[in-house]
Copies of this chain bind each other. A is one copy, B any other.
Amino acid sequence: MANFDFKGKSIYYEEHGSGEPLIVLNGIFMSCMSWMAFVPAFSAEFRLILVDMLDQGRSSMMDAEYTQELQTEVILALYEHLGLEKAHIMGISYGGEVAMKLAAAYPGKVGRMILSNTAAHTSHWLRDIGRSWEYAYQSRDGSQFFKTCVPIVYSPGFYDANHDWMSAREDLFSKFFGAEVYDAFGRLTRSAETHDARPDLDKITAPALVISSEFDFITPPYQQKELVSAMPNASHILIPGAGHALMYEKPNEFTAAVIGFLRMKETLKVL
């Protein structure tokens, strides 16, 4: 529950628990608040550092376009503000893209890395899905936003089994999201359009765990196999039955994989 200044903007972060530091980078529609249900489990193991990047949650809105490289600088500034030499990094979707850039450029700063449901690059296909979302942002209509951006990030089975909750969320979005939130989503989405970590994946020497979901229709598992192959020290776990919004659909599997991987001290070689 604190802030620091980044080039005249306020960056909001939270710290929970103690131990090895773990910085968590949010997906595009997430914020520190998204982690509420996970804070007890993660803070029991680590010094959990949640952070809202620019245009997220309680951090400042931006007033111009930018790319993900700027978010990488935000995270470097967070390291400096907290006096961290090295930390584990976990990135979800958009947050994983920022994490890759950080780990490739500053390998010494990253202990272990979790990349959950993340793309190695923004393909034409993914970019154009993002552009369909931008029409929804521009409408500033909570229902249009919800219908366009939410179902496809969940597995069909989960969405139907939790339909009342989904409807409640649609109402919530309609009530609480103002124009400035939708504008922020737009800038965040556009900041990822040029994302292409593929040429730098071989520089990511940190032990990395890629977590995929069987029914991830945004960053499908076969693409994540390519991501795993391109990093020199990557492991791979797939969660059956879940969609892109893995952490909400399968919180136990997600949390188990993250905690277990981050607690490991070395890479095992059996033969």
B-binding residues in A (CB < 8 A): 37-38, 41, 44-45, 123-126, 128-129, 131-132, 135-136, 139, 141, 144, 146-148, 150-152, 154, 156, 159-160, 162-163, 165-166, 207, 209, 212, 214-215, 217, 220-223, 225, 228, 235-241, 247-248, 250-253, 255-261, 263-271
B239 with A238: CB separation less than 8 A: yes
B255 with A260: CB separation less than 8 A: yes
Q: Which of B136, B222, B235, B252 contacts A252 (CB 8 A)?
A: B235
Determine the chain B residues whose CB is within 8 A of the CB of A235 once the complex forms.
Answer: 250, 252-253, 256
A144 nearest CB across to chain B (Å)? 5
- Known A220-B215, A236-B241, A237-B257; judge A144-B132 contact (CB<8 A): yes
Main secondary structure of the interface of A (DSSP, over half): helix
**How many copies of this chain does the complex contain?**
4
Q: Which of B241, B251, B260 contacts A268 (CB 8 A)?
A: B251
Determine the chain B residues whose CB is within 8 A of the CB of A166 once the complex forms.
Answer: 124, 128
Measured CA separation A270–B222 after assembly (Å): 25
Measured CA separation A264–B207 after assembly (Å): 22
Q: Which of B124, B223, B264 contacts A259 (CB 8 A)?
A: B264
B156 with A265: CB separation less than 8 A: no
